[in-house]
């Protein structure tokens, strides 16, 4: 497969079809050093809890935070569970998160990943957020960045849940991270490594870290030819190695018909969900994400 601009047009249509009537997000400025010119918006529940959880929600290539807010539809959960959701946007590289540069693939390296963590820390400080209940989610490019953040900042995030992405470092060294700028090897499912090799690359992103890694839930469609389904297997290799869990069983037609949940260990640390016949991207399932985060 050769990458083209067509998927960006498809995503634009997807955004328009998934749009709903939502209140506007609150734009935040002055949240910290911002070398990659990201913008930050948040969704606050009517009554912020004393120690709210924080959810970082990351848009696809060609998207914005406002569009992912419409797509993810977390508001009803935020109102009930009293968490604060952050919806950042990137203006760079066709609105794709940087998951390729050394800066973004390094803990405190000064790239997109560092700026996103600064947003999280700003919310924790301003709203007395619970630092043990910080979660990350996203789709496509947002799932790629979810993998990066969980590997580079395992001391910040408790868990991640994401759709149609690739493992951290899959695009390392690529000239860009978008369909028009990236080396296509990763998206084509041709960057194949062992779990130990992926884990070594992830650990090198934050070599001083010796603690546990965040819990992972990743979802991918079997008919995805844009971010090839093989990348689902590579994510499973990476996170099963980092979390030291092995595949134990499949649960069919879960969380919905045609989806298979692949359970690792006892299922509390890692699951993979294979969506039969689904292309790019798997539509986010808010109840699934919230349950994984313990917020549903």
Q: Is the dihedral of CA 62, 25, 84, 88 positive or negative?
A: positive
Using an 8 Å Cβ cutoff, are 60 and 142 in contact? Answer: yes
Give the DSSP letter of residue 177. S
Q: How far apart are alpha carbons 223 and 285 in whole angstroms?
A: 18
Closest by CA position to 218, among listed 131, 133, 132, 285? 285
Using an 8 Å Cβ cutoff, are 261 and 273 in contact? Answer: yes
On the question of a cis peptide bond just before residue 99, with omega within 30 degrees of 0, the verdict is no
Query: Which residues does the annotation mark as catalytic?
Result: 140
Residues written for the chain:
296
């Amino acid at each position: 497969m050769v990458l083209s601009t067509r998927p960006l047009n498809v995503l634009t249509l997807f955004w328009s079809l998934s749009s709903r009537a939502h209140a506007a997000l609150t734009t935040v400025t002055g949240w910290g050093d911002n070398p990659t010119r990201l913008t930050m918006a948040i969704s606050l529940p009517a009554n912020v809890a004393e120690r709210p959880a924080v959810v970082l929600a990351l848009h696809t290539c060609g998207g914005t935070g406002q569009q992912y807010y419409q797509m993810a539809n977390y508001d009803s959960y935020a109102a009930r569970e009293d968490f604060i959701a952050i919806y950042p946007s990137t203006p760079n590289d066709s609105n794709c998160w940087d998951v390729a540069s050394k800066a973004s693939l390094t803990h405190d390296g000064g790239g997109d990943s560092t700026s996103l963590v600064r947003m999280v820390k700003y919310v924790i400080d301003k709203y007395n957020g619970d630092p043990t209940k910080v979660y990350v989610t996203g789709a496509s490019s947002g799932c790629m960045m979810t993998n990066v953040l969980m590997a580079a900042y395992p001391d910040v995030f408790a868990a991640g849940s994401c759709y149609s992405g690739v493992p951290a470092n899959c695009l390392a060294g690529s000239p860009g991270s978008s369909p028009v700028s990236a080396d296509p090897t990763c998206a084509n499912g041709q960057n194949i490594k062992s779990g130990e090799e992926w884990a070594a690359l992830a650990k090198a992103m934050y070599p001083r870290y010796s603690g546990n890694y965040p819990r992972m839930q990743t979802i991918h469609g079997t008919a995805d030819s844009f971010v090839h389904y093989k990348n689902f297997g590579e994510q499973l290799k990476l996170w099963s190695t980092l979390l030291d869990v092995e595949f134990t069983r499949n649960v069919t037609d879960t969380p919905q018909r045609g989806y298979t949940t692949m359970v690792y260990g006892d299922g509390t640390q890692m699951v993979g969900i294979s969506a039969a016949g689904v292309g790019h991207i798997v539509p986010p399932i808010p109840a699934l994400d919230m349950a994984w985060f313990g917020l549903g």
